[in-house]
Amino acid sequence: GAVVSQHPSWVICKSGTSVKIECRSLDFQATTMFWYRQFPKQSLMLMATSNEGSKATYEQGVEKDKFLINHASLTLSTLTVTSAHPEDSSFYICSASPDNEQFFGPGTRLTVL
């Protein structure tokens, strides 16, 4: 199947700093990618739809100025958590699809101290 990668796989940062997470489709092009957040022992929550060449679409309750999404190419979307706080600590997962099947990245664990 298609492969989606994320980088980094884990990151620890200080409160107030910004963190960038990359999501890449390795063997296909994706005009749309999706970003999810998962808190411990909870389900995945869709945060936003990343659209190549246009603005991201955010789900209700997700702060667009807090979670900046850039989809600059057909194989790369980035999520930047700005001015991170401990409550932003979570597992962030992206997904992309070459067809009707969704492929998920391995996730990035963010810990904000």
**Which residues make up the interface to another protein (CB under 8 A)?**
1, 32, 34, 36, 42-46, 49, 59, 91, 93, 95, 97, 100-107, 109
For another protein, the closer CB: 37 or 78 = 37
Which of residues 65 and 99 has its CB atom nearest to another protein in the complex?
99
List the one residue out of 52, 34, 37 whose CA is nearest residue 104. 34
Q: Which amino acid is at 66?
A: K
User: Residue 19 or residue 93: which is nearer to another protein going by CB?
Assistant: 93
Q: How far is the CB of 83 from another protein (least distance, A)?
A: 25
Q: How far is the CB of 16 from another protein (least distance, A)?
A: 26
Tell me the closest approach of the beta carbon of residue 3 to another protein, in angstroms: 11
